[in-house]
Amino acid sequence: MHLVTTTLAAIFIGGLLAATVSAQDSKPEADAKDLLKKARLQHQRGDVEEARATATEAIKATLEVLIEGYELRARIHSSKRDYAKAIADLNQMIRLDPKQAGAYYLRGRENFRTGRIDASLADFDQYVVLRPKLEPRQWERGISAYYAGKFKQGAKQFELYQTYHDNDVENSTWRYLCMARTEGVAKARKVMLPIKNDTRVPMMKIFDLYRGKAKPEDVLAAARAGEPTKQQLHQRLFYAHLYLGLYYEVGGKVELAKKHIILAADKYMIEHYMGDVARIHAAHFRKS
């Protein structure tokens, strides 16, 4: 860990957390100051080893507050779509403690949102190195692998996710998309991960489309079926157009893919990580 002076810690904590952290929550800072006072007294009376150990405890307590503060501010930046600033704060977390696994995970998401796909995948990979037991949950890692062109890694990640959550149509479709890139649509369709009942509309109809059991128009009809609220319909149509676009793209129908992806990214955009996926994909189409 890097040595951080109490002056810098006080400036950071006072400026960033004064309005958001209660007196009880700021206890680690107070504890750190008390420890430093104790270390000075120990040093003055010649208890050098005791003073060193106490000072080390103070540094650890100060770093804990710094790291929590950077993470809080990174999340706030992200909520405002200020991804560059979020990444800067996550970089500081990692500088203070390179084993901060959560910082790599969060930075992986932010890097993806800025279109830095390779950096995103590298962050998710490092998160898995530090938290190997959590690897099956990393669906975002699978998506980054897909956009990085590492389709076999992506397929493997979605297969792992199936062991964590086996009723998610999106997981099955992304594995299909990865396999279709390397082994063709026919093979990908034959070995789709089984899904029994994803209750989100129109997910099961999307699943049927990818299995060859439905047509694109069936997906849109399913999205509009019933009496959804305006908000519900908006979200349904986002997912319908996103997965229609992805479906058409691996099938070689690029213009149709572009049409549906841009509809998802613009007209039906949602505040969700998948909304960012559509936005990044649409930006690629516009650039190309």
DSSP string, 77-90: HHHTT-HHHHHHHH
Query: What pLDDT is attached to residue 60?
Result: 75
Match 């002056």 to its residue by tokens: 7
pLDDT at 11: 36
CA distances from 82 to 1, 16, 56, 78, 266 (A): 28, 16, 35, 5, 19
**Signed CA dihedral, 95, 96, 101, 105: sign only:** negative
Name 150's Cβ contacts closer than 8 Å, sequence gap at least 6: 121
Count of Cβ atoms closer than 10 Å to residue 233 Cβ: 16
Say what the alpha-carbon torsion angle 151, 252, 284, 219 is, to the nearest 10 degrees: -90
Q: How far apart are CA 256 and CA 95, in angstroms?
A: 45
Please tell me the predicted confidence (pLDDT) of residue 112.
Answer: 98
Q: What is the DSSP letter of 272?
A: S
Amino acid 57: pLDDT: 73
Handedness of CA 122, 128, 129, 130 (dihedral sign): positive
The number of beta carbons lying within 10 Å of the beta carbon of residue 8 is 11
- The Cα 176–Cα 193 span in angstroms is 8
Other CB atoms within 10 Å distance of the CB of residue 67: 18
User: What tokens appear for 51 in the block?
Assistant: 């003073």
pLDDT at residue number 59: 66
The pLDDT of residue 12: 39
pLDDT for the residue numbered 30? 66
- All residues at 6 or more sequence positions from 213 whose CB lies less than 8 Å from its CB, including other chains: none
The rounded average pLDDT for each run of 10 residues, N- to C-terminus, in the chain (288 residues) is: 35 39 49 76 83 72 85 94 96 96 98 98 98 98 98 98 97 98 97 96 98 98 98 98 98 98 98 98 94
CA dihedral (274, 279, 282, 283) positive or negative: negative
